[in-house]
Amino acid sequence: MRYCHVLLPDKTEPVCLPEICVEEKDVIQHGPDVIISLPDLPHPPQPALESENTPSLQSILYGKELLLEEIQCTWEELNPFLRAGLVTVRAGLHPTKNGYKCRRCHNSDPARFGVFFCARCQKDCAYCRHCIMMGRISTCSALFRWNGPPSSFSPHISLHWDGIFSKGQKRATETIIQTIKEKDELLVWAVCGAGKTEILFPGIETALQSGQRVLLATPRTDVVLELLPRFRHVFPEAIIAGLYGKSEEKQILAQLVIATTHQTMRFADAFDTVIIDEVDAFPYTAETSLVQAVQKGKRKMPPRFISPRRQPIRCKSVYKNTPFP
């Protein structure tokens, strides 16, 4: 599929459309061409939601950047959203001095790109090998993003947990709540078994009650599977999704997302509060692309918590304003 920059009859700014969606009255400014060959368009202002029939696409795309295969809708269905500016499209790979940069996983290492014969283009296409497990992004791939009004979440969520915090844990929970309110950053550094998960509960409750969207990113699938039932038990009213390689909850518009750090690559400008569990653990420490993926997933200036895995036994303190590793 080739793309064009098109000036629509009643608009002053061009939009990017697949060739198949261009109509006679549209004025083509660039293309049709492979999407990577088109210059980037500035991000358009957010239009008003014009139709009542949008929630399904909004719930799939809001806060994410996805391939067409992941959206699972036809060009006919997508066309009105593209023309209205409610959905924007950009190339999945960006050309650089040394080759490409993948806009989903931020990989720019030439050794992590390959070439294959592309059935879509009927010629060789370069693709990102680094995030291939999430669906192939090649030079002809487009990423789609929701540009309509944000989804809103119910603030009627309360914490159902009757545990008792120790003095140190209480201090940690209060600092976390304060950090969320101030949209600040925080490093929580605690010994193994110190109750790091539980001390997050009140802070997450504060975030959810103020309508925030929260990401809890952790290095491994087994940790996601362990945390999910615990969070569903203490926040029964919240919509919670667990994301990992084989998760079937990837389409759920959840207010609290518990995900492996790799799954955060699909998100863009999505989360008000981002909590990174075991920030000193593999693969987060070894993959700068994961740090960039988490950065892409958060909204501008959210509060962020960082929880290391290995700690000195005697260290139980909560440190504020610690630089992000």
Nearest to Zn ion of 6, 105 (CB atom): 105
Q: How far is the CB of 63 from Zn ion (least distance, A)?
A: 19
Alpha helices in the chain (DSSP H): 55-61, 68-71, 75-84, 167-182, 196-209, 221-234, 288-297
Site string for Zn ion, 112-151 (x = CB under 5 A): ------x-xx---x--x-xx--------x-----------
Residue in 107, 261, 264, 273 binding Zn ion, rule: CB under 5 A: 107
Q: How far is the CB of 256 from Zn ion (least distance, A)?
A: 26
Nearest to Zn ion of 2, 171 (CB atom): 2
Residues that contact Zn ion, how many (by CB under 5 A): 12
Q: Which residues contact 95 (CB under 8 A, 6 or more apart)?
A: 36
Q: How far is the CB of 138 from Zn ion (least distance, A)?
A: 5
Residue 36 parent element (H or E): none
Closest CA to 262 of 279, 284, 280, 278: 284
Q: Does 266 bind Zn ion (CB under 5 A)?
A: no
Q: Does 268 bind Zn ion (CB under 5 A)?
A: no
Nearest to Zn ion of 89, 253 (CB atom): 89
The one-letter code for the residue type at 153 is F
Q: How far apart are CA 54 and CA 35, in angstroms?
A: 26
Closest CA to 93 of 38, 52, 148: 38
Is residue 290 within 8 A of residue 310, CB to CB? The reply is no
Vertex 203: Cα angle to 165 and 171 (nearest 5): 40
3-state class of 307 per DSSP?
strand
Q: How far apart are CA 310 and CA 315, in angstroms?
A: 11
Q: How far is the CB of 259 from Zn ion (least distance, A)?
A: 17
Nearest to Zn ion of 103, 196 (CB atom): 103
Q: How far is the CB of 130 from Zn ion (least distance, A)?
A: 5
Is residue 17 within 8 A of residue 84, CB to CB? The reply is no
Site string for Zn ion, 74-103 (x = CB under 5 A): ----------------------------x-
Q: How far is the CB of 137 from Zn ion (least distance, A)?
A: 5
Task: Summarize as ranges the residues that interact with Zn ion (CB under 5 A).
Answer: 102, 104-105, 107, 118, 120-121, 125, 128, 130-131, 140
